[in-house]
Chains A and B, each alone.
Chain A
Amino acid sequence: MSKSKPKARPAAGDAVRAKKQEKLSFLARMEYKKMIMYPLAVFVIALILLAVNFPTLGIDLRGGVVVTAYGVNANPDELGRYISDKIGMEVRVEKFTGVEASGVRVYAPIGTDPLKIIEVMKEKYPNAEYTHSEVQPTFGEIAQQQGIRALVFAFLAMAVVVFLFFRNLVPSLTIIFSALSDMTIAVALMGIFGIELTTATIAALLMLIGYTVDSNILLTTKLLRRKEDSVEKAYLSAVSTGFTMSTTTLGALLILWIISTSQTIDNIAIVLIFGLLADFMNTWILNAGVLEWYLARGGKA
């Protein structure tokens, strides 16, 4: 391990990587107290946001009727008033756009006949494509319970596996906390951006458990197992890998979000984007801060 040797490896890539590591080195120079404090503050803010502005439940968790019409271009408020007048029930209309098609979603309370809404809309937009769904509150309740159960169990399972892999209390707990914080921040952002909590977004939150743990495991492995480098070097190498990972995933998700008009896919994509953004902070600042502190204290806590 003394001298570096030129290798049959593209030099351009190395240069880019070196530059990237340099750009990110400000992170390595941060004081670990701050690295722990800031993300914790964000986590607390997210909790407060959740307390005052929890995302609304989608109809599949709450019960209700929704009629989706594709190929309708209308002012949602006007259309809403029009339908409400005609069927004598208060409805809410939302507009959505995609690459190929755009349309509206009409939300109505449970007990409304979706066929009636379609009938009224067909008078105005005979060529639109209609779909509808309705969910009874009782099933919404079951779905809610199961969603919570799925999240809790998935989270616990993840925690157990992380413990088994690292067999080390502080690093494991940090990974677990950082996954929790990712999910909390993602849900808080859902509240802010008006994204409903549905079975699809629950799926996305579950997906986050898998996604976000990846980068944390990478960081922890590099810092704890990579003994040949200094902590800072190991950290920078992890950060650079992690940034590549997250930007590719974010890019793919963004494309997915732009192209799809399916609400399911759209919502899954956006929630994952939220979570991955939160994960940038939680992995590379919080988790790194805790690990640096932990290593500085000689790996014992």
Chain B
Amino acid sequence: MKRRTKKLLLNWRIILLTLFLVGSIATLALKPLTFGIDISGGVALVAQTEHPVDTKTMQLVVDSLQKRLNTLGLRDITVEAQGDQIVLIKVANVTSPEEAERIKNVIESQGVFYMEFSGVIFGTGNDVEYVGIYQIKPDNSWSVPFRISKSAAEKFAELAYGKKGWPVDMFLDPPVNSLMVVPESVYKAMNSSEFNAEAPEAPTLMERIAKAFNISVVAYANQSADEIAKLAQGKEKIVLVDVPQELQTQLEEMNLTVRYVPRAQGESDHALIVRVLGLYGPYSLGEGLTVGEPQQDVQITGSAPDRLTAEQEASTIYTVLKSGSLPVKLTVVGMEFISPRLGEGFRTQAVYAGIGALITVLLIVYFHYRNWKIAIPVASTSLFEAIIILGFAALIRWNLDLPSIAGIIAAIGTGVDQQIVITDELLGGEKTTKISRRSSVLKRMGRAFFVIFASAATTIAAMSFLLVYFVGTLKGFAFTTILGVLIGILITRPAYAEIAKYLLGED
């Protein structure tokens, strides 16, 4: 018996299990587990880009979001791109629903910023490298200094050469690639030199936005929805400005994307245009910038009737410049807020549920075999498996969220199943003689492991698609399931087979 025990303990499978177990416990002691938002509390937001983007643009989105949230003084932020359209933002330590809502608003208010001159976009938010503190002079004129990238400065110098007084426009989220249907008076204003700063000879606002953003404008003269739809062919959307609202429903019925902008009470044509286009400016071009020399440090200036208005105008521009650095518009399409107190509840529950499930497994296995020599190793192997999975998760700082925990449960569930397959194969060889027993054990173990490998392979195959392909919260689930299955077939199951052979007198 002693020799057998020694042989068991020196078996490489048992040694491997012990090593992993000790390693995991040590890891867990040194590096505590990190939990997902749904357990530790916090807010998780899913943002979607306006259209699919390439990896480079996606990286810019991630970087700028990270920067922006950091400047808000939030800690524990993760921003992660998934696929070509989804960004997952997680902020831990958010304690109230109100705070969660504020974070959402911050992300949504990030716009796409364009600097345009004479119908050419010479820079976007990414070209804004630095924004200085705005200044307000005693005569209520204001200025916001900022630095643009070298390439934008060069492009601008070339464009603006000799065009003193021409208008420079800045846009935050203009309705790119659209058809605008506007009242006659608005059409006239856009087609006049009203937005031309000090250069009536420059292209009109209508010409500039047509060239820069592919926005065409038509005056509303009782056209039918069909006529408008025809005009909008090839455009992404239709913007209806202060026209009868029935048109919206009619056009939407034709499966067109429509944005309806009503005129606010007492709103002037000018204010309406500025609002619909997301226009800041136009700012007139000072002489210094028209000599063809690229200048990176520029400023926007303006003047207001009183100090308060000046302050407001300057701070708006300041914020737009500072935050408008996303290469593409983002909308928050999903959010989830979990209060930290509640998360703690989930965590204790997960622990209770885990222990409860383990005891249940122990009892049911005992009930089936009426043998503690089987029940205890089965249940403890499952426990070891859980510990190793958790140790691994701690090691790579995997965020354990609820789906990850579900994955661990799944892995353990299949683990118990497979241990039962091994046990039954070991117990099943009644008709063997002593001589053929050894080879028979090998054969039966071979069969058991065939079943185990086949089912592990199916699970891994099924889950790996989820891991690489799927966007959203199921990644954790796939990850822990695969991890658990791998640990199972490589470490715990072979060790269990040895222990079972030893305990059932079959080695």
Residue numbers of A with Cβ under 8 A of B are 1-5, 7-10, 12-17, 20, 60, 70, 98-101, 114-115, 118, 129-136, 138-139, 142-143, 146, 149-150, 153-155, 157-158, 160-162, 164-165, 199-200, 202-204, 206-207, 209-211, 213-215, 217-218, 221-222, 225-226, 228, 237, 240-241, 244-245, 247-249, 251-256, 258-262, 264-265, 268
Contact = CB atoms under 8 A, between A and B. Distances in A.
Contacts of B48: 136, 138-139, 142
B364 A157 contact: no
A211 B450 CA distance: 16
Contacts of B272: none
Interface stretch (B60-68, B147-155, B354-362): B354-362
A268 B98 CA distance: 30
B331 A260 contact: no
A241 B432 CA distance: 19
Nearest to B363: A251
A206 B462 contact: yes
Contacts of B335: 133-135
Contact of B369 (A17, A155, A161, A206): A17
A115 B337 CA distance: 11
B378 to A, nearest CB: 8
B341 interface: yes
16 contacts: A5-B432, A10-B370, A13-B427, A17-B427, A100-B348, A142-B471, A154-B463, A157-B465, A202-B474, A203-B403, A207-B410, A214-B418, A225-B447, A256-B353, A260-B353, A268-B409
Contacts of B286: none
B382 to A, nearest CB: 9
Given A136-B334, A241-B420, A16 B474 contact: no
Contact of A139 (B333, B339, B462): B333
A258 B356 CA distance: 10
B333 A138 contact: yes
A1 B433 contact: yes
A225 B450 CA distance: 10
Contact of B339 (A131, A162, A249): A131
Given A134-B335, A218-B451, A248-B361, A161 B477 contact: no
A100 B458 contact: no
B144 interface: no
A138 B330 CA distance: 13
A188 B30 CA distance: 47
Of A203, A228, A255, the most chain B CB neighbours within 10 A belong to A203
A162 B420 contact: no
Contacts of A162: 454, 458
B337 A132 contact: yes
A16 B369 contact: yes
Contact of B455 (A4, A213, A226, A241): A213
B336 A146 contact: no
B424 A237 contact: yes
A114 B461 contact: no
Contacts of B398: none
Contacts of A143: 472
Interface residues of B, number: 90
A161 B457 contact: yes
Contact of A130 (B85, B97, B469, B473): B97
Given A134-B335, A157-B465, A252-B409, 4 more contacts: A99-B352, A162-B458, A203-B403, A244-B364
A113 to B, nearest CB: 8
B374 A131 contact: no
Contacts of B470: 146, 149-150
Contacts of B361: 248, 251-252
Nearest to A276: B413
Interface in B211-246: none
- A-side interface mostly: helix
B277 interface: no
B71 interface: no
B413 A211 contact: yes
A154 B481 CA distance: 13
Contacts of B159: none
Nearest to B331: A136
Contacts of A5: 432-434
B168 interface: no
A265 B405 CA distance: 9
B334 A249 contact: no
Contact of B417 (A136, A160, A214, A240): A214
Contacts of B353: 255-256, 259-260, 265
A204 B406 CA distance: 9
A264 B450 contact: no
A23 to B, nearest CB: 12
Given A10-B371, A160-B461, A255 B333 contact: no
Nearest to A1: B431
B350 A260 contact: yes
Nearest to A218: B451
A98 B421 CA distance: 34
Given A209-B458, A245-B420, A265-B406, A131 B342 contact: yes
A247 B334 contact: no
Contact of B365 (A4, A118, A248, A264): A248
B416 interface: yes
B368 interface: yes
A131 B462 contact: no
B447 A150 contact: no
B404 to A, nearest CB: 11
A8 B505 contact: yes
Given A101-B345, A240-B424, A4 B431 contact: yes
A134 B361 CA distance: 38
Closest 10 CB pairs of A and B: A139-B333, A210-B459, A8-B505, A154-B462, A133-B336, A157-B461, A252-B357, A136-B333, A241-B424, A153-B465
A3 B337 contact: no
A210 B427 contact: no
Contact of A158 (B38, B462, B473): B462
A58 B241 CA distance: 36
Interface string B422-459: 00100110111110100000000001001101110111
Interface in B307-355: 331-339, 341-342, 345-346, 348-350, 352-353
